[in-house]
């Protein structure tokens, strides 16, 4: 193994509600198991975490509950932290984009672009949402309405700050030929980049990073905040910034977030601040978790909270419902089979015996499936292993080896307590 260091980064959440839902759990818990698998193989895995705490989602939620955006956001973050701890994950929380120390880093990025002639102020017609009270990005407008709550947008002439991302258009397109992104994502980015406009980064909201120009009242688009956090993770750990080996996020951010991150990375590379021009070596997108076949939403009242389930059982169940890239539908009746299955494994591994089984072949299968993010196949292999060997009493060494293997996928699994049928 030439390089044992791995940087595996997930897109961090907006603390725009009072808790994580099962879709968040699907992303973070399963990638946590992937990191555990890599550590089992001997890798040193850097597994950072943070909160995209500025912006419209957080501010709109604060308005909804009638509170101060800062106060509400940090209350939500505290709840998110407790939930992350309950998930039994090994993420290392490093930053919040609304902390003073991170605000300074974001303002440095603005000044970097300004000093390199890549930031300018100009008047232009903008899509303005009267309910959000701010300019919207073009992707936030659907059929003439704000995508967040359906309010008809207004066309307003406003003086705004822009980043000259169009100067990097050809380079952003050319690099798509060699970066390891899903083909669908690269296709979407090519189409988006062909119709590229300069990036309007002014926002007329208070809960955001202040534009560092005297007399300016606007804040920066939160896509600026989230375009370089993978670098700050490393700097604040005292490490030289390197490309992220694996970046995991939703496909809904295939264009704006990923392209803006690529653009800022190129600017920093050109300025000699880093020695790589693409932020991520490999990008994957997790699938979506539905509830009984429908998209989860607060309006439908079908949000599933992970707090209501054993975290190990929930993790194993979410692995089983489909390929990680596809997602699946959450169903409580189907979930009930997981605790029963885990209990059977505990009983089997708790038996005292001298028999031996072929664990190496089993390991090869589940590790290849894990490498391919086919966690549903991993669960199936555990079921097959149990069915084929449930009448055998294996030796203590193999029982311990299988327990350690299962902890990759169910971190709170233990055979110490005796179970009964």
Mean pLDDT in residue range 268-289: 97
Mean pLDDT in residue range 369-389: 97
Nearest-angstrom CA–CA distance, 98 and 70: 8
Give the DSSP letter of residue 278.
S
Q: Which residue in 256, 148, 247, 252 sits closest to 201, CA to CA?
A: 256
What are the φ and ψ backbone dihedral angles of 201, each rounded to 5 degrees?
-110, 5
Mean pLDDT in residue range 244-252: 94
The pLDDT, as a whole number, for residue 50 is 95
Q: Which residue has the higher pLDDT, 330 or 150?
A: 330
Average the pLDDT over each of 41-50, 63-72, 296-305, 318-327 and give the range with the smallest value. Answer: 296-305
Nearest-angstrom CA–CA distance, 226 and 58: 14
Q: Which residue in 201, 217, 219, 224 sits closest to 209, CA to CA?
A: 219
Q: Which DSSP helix (H) or strand (E) runs through 279?
A: none
Is 8 a residue whose pLDDT tops 80? Answer: yes
Is 135 a residue whose pLDDT tops 70? Answer: yes
Given a contact cutoff of 8 angstroms between Cβ atoms, the answer to whether 55 and 222 are in contact is: yes
How many angstroms separate the Cα of 416 from the Cα of each of 134, 349, 351?
A: 57, 10, 11
The pLDDT, as a whole number, for residue 285 is 96
Mean pLDDT in residue range 316-334: 95
- Dump pLDDT digits (tens) for 50-67: 999 997 777 777 777 888
Give the DSSP letter of residue 294.
E
Is 136 a residue whose pLDDT tops 90? Answer: no
The pLDDT, as a whole number, for residue 399 is 96
Mean pLDDT in residue range 66-75: 89
- Dump pLDDT digits (tens) for 12-43: 988 877 788 999 999 999 999 999 999 999 99
pLDDT confidence of 141, banded at 50, 70, 90? confident
The pLDDT, as a whole number, for residue 417 is 58
Is 149 a residue whose pLDDT tops 80? Answer: no
Is 299 a residue whose pLDDT tops 70? Answer: no
- Dump pLDDT digits (tens) for 187-222: 999 999 999 999 999 998 889 999 999 999 999 999
Q: Which residue has the higher pLDDT, 146 or 282?
A: 282
Mean pLDDT in residue range 112-134: 89
Whole-number average pLDDT of the chain: 92
Given a contact cutoff of 8 angstroms between Cβ atoms, the answer to whether 271 and 116 are in contact is: yes
Nearest-angstrom CA–CA distance, 96 and 396: 45
Q: Which residues pair with 135 in a beta bridge?
A: 128
| Strand positions, DSSP E, 52-117 | 92-96
Mean pLDDT in residue range 274-280: 97
What are the φ and ψ backbone dihedral angles of 255, each rounded to 5 degrees?
-105, -75
pLDDT confidence of 3, banded at 50, 70, 90? low
Q: Which residue in 356, 355, 349 sits closest to 417, CA to CA?
A: 349
313 in helix, strand or coil? helix
Is 286 a residue whose pLDDT tops 90? Answer: yes
């Amino acid at each position: 193994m030439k390089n044992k260091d791995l940087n595996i980064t997930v897109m961090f959440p907006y603390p725009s509600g009072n808790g994580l839902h099962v879709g968040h759990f699907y992303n973070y818990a399963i990638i946590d198991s992937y990191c555990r698998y890599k550590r089992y193989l001997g890798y040193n895995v850097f597994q950072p975490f943070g909160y995209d705490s500025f912006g419209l989602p957080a501010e709109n939620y604060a308005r909804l509950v009638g509170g101060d955006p800062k106060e509400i956001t940090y209350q939500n973050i505290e709840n998110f932290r407790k939930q992350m701890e309950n998930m039994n994950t090994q993420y290392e929380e490093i930053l919040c984009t609304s902390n003073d120390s991170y605000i300074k880093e974001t303002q440095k990025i603005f000044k970097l672009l300004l000093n390199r002639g890549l930031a300018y102020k100009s008047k232009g017609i903008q899509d303005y949402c009267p309910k959000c009270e701010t300019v919207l990005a073009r992707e936030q407008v659907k059929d003439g309405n704000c995508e967040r709550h359906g309010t008809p947008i207004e066309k307003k002439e406003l003086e705004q700050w822009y980043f000259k991302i169009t100067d990097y258009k050809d380079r952003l397109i050319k690099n798509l030929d060699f970066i390891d992104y899903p083909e669908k994502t690269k296709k979407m980015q090519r189409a988006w980049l062909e119709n590229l406009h300069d990036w309007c980064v002014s926002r007329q909201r208070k809960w955001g990073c202040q534009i560092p120009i005297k007399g300016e009242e606007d804040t920066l688009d939160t896509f600026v905040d989230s375009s370089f956090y993978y670098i700050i993770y490393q700097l604040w750990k005292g490490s030289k910034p390197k490309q992220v080996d694996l970046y995991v996020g939703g496909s809904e951010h295939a264009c704006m977030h990923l392209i803006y991150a690529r653009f800022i990375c190129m600017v920093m590379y050109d300025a000699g601040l880093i020695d790589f021009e693409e932020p991520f070596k490999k990008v994957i997108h997790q699938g979506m978790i539905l509830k009984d076949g429908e998209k989860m939403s607060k309006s439908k009242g079908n949000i599933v909270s992970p707090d209501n389930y054993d975290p190990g059982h929930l993790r194993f169940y979410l692995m089983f419902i489909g390929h990680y890239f596809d997602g699946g539908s959450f169903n409580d009746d189907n979930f009930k089979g997981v605790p029963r299955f885990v209990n059977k494994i505990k009983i089997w591994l708790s038996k005292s015996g001298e028999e031996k089984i072929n664990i190496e072949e089993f390991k090869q299968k589940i590790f290849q499936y894990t490498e391919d993010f086919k966690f549903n196949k991993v669960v199936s292999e555990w079921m097959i292993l149990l069915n084929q060997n449930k009448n055998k009493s294996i030796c203590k060494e193999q029982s311990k080896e299988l327990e350690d293997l299962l902890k990759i996928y169910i971190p709170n699994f233990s055979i110490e307590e005796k179970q009964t049928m």
